[in-house]
Every structure is written in C-alpha cells, then in structure tokens.
Structure 1
C-alpha cells in the first residue's frame, strides 16, 4: 500500500510538470506572433505615411520648384550653334575662328570660342621674295608658327630636267643672284603630308633693275586712272545729292522747259500752215476772176 501510494504522487507531479511546460511554450508562441503582427502593422503604417508624403510632394505647385534647377535644365536644353570664320590664307595652312552663334555668355549674339587650323589648296603658285637686293634674295616657305613642326624641302627647278633637292631644310632660303634667272620651289610637309607648295623666280641684277625702272611708269598710270575715276564718282554723287535736295526746283525747271518746247512746236506748226495757205491763194484768185468775167459777159 505504501509503495503504491508513493508511486501515485510521483506520477501526478510528472503530469502536472509536463502540462506546465506545454502551457509555457504555447504562451511564448502567442507572444511571438503578436509581436510579429504589431511589427507588420507598424511597417504598413510607415509605408502608407511614405506614400502620402510622396503624393504631397507631387502635388506641390510648379512655382515652388527652385529657380536654380530650372536654370540648369535650360542650360542643358540650349542647342549651341557654331559657324566658322574665313581662313587667313587662300592656300596652304592658316587659321580660322570658331564662332558660337547661340548660347554665348552674357546674352551676346556671337562670341569666338577658339581659333583652329585650316587648310586650303596645296599649290600656292608663284610667290614673291620676303626681301631682295641687287645681290641676293630671301625666300620663305608657307608655314605657321611654330615652324619647327613642319619639314621643308627646297628644290632648284631646271627646264626639261628633274628638280635638284637642296640641302637647306629651313623655312627661309637666301639665294645669291647669278648671270641667269633661277627658279626655286619649297614643299611644306606635316607628318610626311604635303600641305603647301610655292615657287619663286630669282632674276638677275640687270633684270631686277629693268623691272624696277619700268614699274614706276605702270604705277603712275594706275594711280592716274584711279584718281580720275574717284573724282568722277564724287562728282556724280554730288550731282545726285543736289538733285535730291532741290527736287522741286528741278521739277519746275524741267516743266518750264517742256512748256517752251511745246510753244515752239505749236508756233512752227502755225507758221507752216500760214505758208501753205499763202502758196495756195494765187491759184485760187484767178479762177474766181474768170468766173466773174464770164458771168458779166452773159
């Protein structure tokens, strides 16, 4: 009896302990689910608040947009238009301006953006010496600064023969005059590419003197012709200005002249009529007298 009675309370205790553990686990699980549900509710509320703020931001009037942002957008949308100026040379290599016609700072209509290199036809024809005297002449190749970026090749031209390449490779060549005229050619190369070619004629001393003596006569004739042309143009301009200023007097003068011309023409026509009537009257009078005599005889 004691043994059985002692075993029963132990079993009861084990059962009660097991029930308590199960109850504790269930309560903990319920608390966790409640916490998760509350977190989800807070997240939903925060998301709804964010959506409301976004809607409020989108509903802001355009007047509240910062002016700086508008200026940045306008600067980005401006289309810059560019045009190029005239090249400084008609052949070879030179410079030209790059001009901006839209989007200049300060509201200017046009502004120079930069200066860039430009090129024309390679053949520059026959050039003139930089300086010359009765003993020598200085010739220069076509180039722009810096000159050391180019390579120069001087040639002596001979009729019906191959050109002779000279040792001088600089941009300037000084030539002494000889008994016969000489022709030279200079090729300007940029990275082994021909960009300009010019030729020169170096005359003899006698030919140079003859050209210098004959040139002033030609220059004098040109100066005289140009002077006469300018004087005639100025005279015509003054006459036109006088006519425009005194247009009423000119109109009256031409009207009076035209009226006198008409009067002279009328008087000449009347004189012509009188002369014709006088020429016809002698033939008419004898006829009338004969008629009167015949009537008297009857």
Structure 2
C-alpha cells in the first residue's frame, strides 16, 4: 500500500511537467503559423499589370513609357506607380524592348563622300543578334539580293542613282525595313551647292523672326511698366491735334471775313430772307392789281 502511494506521488510531478510542456509549445506553433502568410507575401511582391482593354477607371500600378523609335525595334521604360521606395510617386522598374511598324521608309546615310556612302540597317545591340538582307531595287523588276549580310553597307557611287533596301530579321521574323538612295557624284555636288543657299535663307528668316518677337516683347513690357507716362503722352498728343484743328478752322474763318466773303451757312440764310421778301412784295402787288 505504501509503495502504491509512493508511486502515485511520483507520477504527479511527471504529469504536471508534461502538461506545462504542451501548453508552452502550442502558442509558439500558433505564432509561427500566423506569421508564415505575412512572410510569404513579403518575400514576393505582386505587381498588377493593367492592359489597355481593361477599364480605364481602374487604378494602374504599372505604366509604360514611350518607345524610343517610331518604327523597327527600340526600348521603353516600365514605370511603377505604386509601392515605390522612399515614398516616390513613380519609379523605373526595368527597361524592355518595344517594336513599332516594320516599314521605316527612306533613311539617311551615316557618312558619305564624293566616292562612296555608308548606309546602315535598323538594329539594336548586339549587332549579331539579327540577320540582314540587302537588296538593290530595280524599277519594274525583281529586287536583286546582295551577298553582303552585315549591318552597314558601303556603296561606291555609280553613274546613275541607285536605291537599296535592308531588311532586319530575327528568327525569320521581319523587324524593320529601310530604304536608301545613293546619288551620283554630280548630283551630290549639285545638292550640296543648293543646300547652303537654302540654309542661309532659313537662318535669315529665323533670326529676323526672333528679333521681331523680342522687339514686340520688349515694347509690351515697356508699355506695361510705364503705362501712366504712355497714357499721358497720348492724351497730350490728342489734345494738341484737336487744338491744331480748331486753330486752323478759326484762321480760315477770319481769312474769309477779311476777304469780304460770308460763310456758306450765312449765305444760305441771306438767300432765304431775300426770297421771303420777294414773295411778300409779289403778293402785295397782286392784291393792289385786283383792287
């Protein structure tokens, strides 16, 4: 009996220790479970991309900057409008490629001389990423493909103008197409002689326009700053002109009186009085004749 009681007393501390261990372990596990979703969310931020087809009233988190080219291949910035570090309203996330229409029209050579000209294809670094196909354009005939496959072609001038075209491709996908006209040496010299005269005229017109605009601007500023003086000046000028008119009118009147002539208004009044007197005399003569 005593041994059983002793064994029961020994098991009680063991049971209490096990209970305390379980109570202490459960809050820690619950804390870890509650913190794990926050850690997962913070480890990989979610950036929402809004397409152009979506509702325009929806808040955008990412927007795209303008493409650096209007045709061919270029680059653009991807701008984050929400969640930027340091409380900034916008920040650049990355730079990516962008593409425009493939037809780039007629281009300009990168260098030219009286003997040759260098014309480039449309590409972005690295140059060996793309394949280039050069063609000589022949009117009313099929284009002639040249053996050159580099991004820059050097052409010697011929006796007649020649048109070239370069197609830039990537994995058999056409990226851009550009054309060039290589003029003859005589035509190039003629174009160079005509160009300075045109440039001189344009520069002269530009300088004249700038001078006129600056003069008008200074005149407006001067009038605004000295409005009272300008106002008094014009009032004085107007009064002087009125006084001159009055003086001229008075002088003409005096000269008419001195010459013995009566002004027109007075002549008309005198003629009216004389007519009235003649009518009265005629009526009296008729009355006497009847009597």
TM-score (ref. length: structure 2): 0.67
Q: Name 2:185's counterpart in structure 1.
A: 205
Unmatched tracts of structure 1, length 5 or more? 1-23, 54-68
- Cα RMSD, aligned residues only: 4.6
Provide the residue aligned with 1:173 in structure 2: 153
Q: Pick from 87, 95, 118 the counterpart of residue 98 of structure 2.
A: 118
1:280 and 2:260 matched = no
Which of residues 51, 67, 87 in structure 2 aligns to 1:107? 87
| Deviation of the 1:111 alpha carbon | 2.6
**Counterpart for residue 56 of structure 1:** none
Secondary structure of 2:134's counterpart equals strand
In structure 2, the residue corresponding to 1:145 is in which secondary structure? coil
State which of 141, 148, 151 in structure 1 corresponds to 2:131.
Answer: 151
Q: Which of 108, 126, 131 is residue 128 of structure 1 equivalent to? A: 108
* CA apart distance, 1:236: 1.2
1:1-298 superposed matches below 5 A: 81-256=61-236, 275=263, 277-286=265-274
| Distance 1:288-1:158 versus aligned 2 partners, 3 A rule | closer
- Higher fraction of helix: 1
More displaced, 99-108 or 233-242? 99-108
1:128-162 CA deviation, whole Å, 9 max, x = no partner?
11111111111100111111111111001100011
Task: Please state whether the residue corresponding to 1:186 is helix, strand or coil.
Answer: strand
* Corresponding residue of 2:257: none
Once residues 131 and 114 of structure 2 are traced to their aligned partners in structure 1, the CA distance between those partners, rounded to angstroms, is 30
Partner Cα distance (2:215, 2:196) in 1: 28
SS at match of 1:103: coil
How much has 1:247 moved relative to structure 2?
1.9
Alpha-carbon distance between aligned partners in 1 of 2:272 and 2:160, rounded to the nearest angstrom: 100
Number of residue equivalences: 249
| Corresponding residue of 2:30 | none
Change (3 A) 1:287 1:164: closer
Measured in 1, the distance between the counterparts of 2:46 and 2:139 equals 63
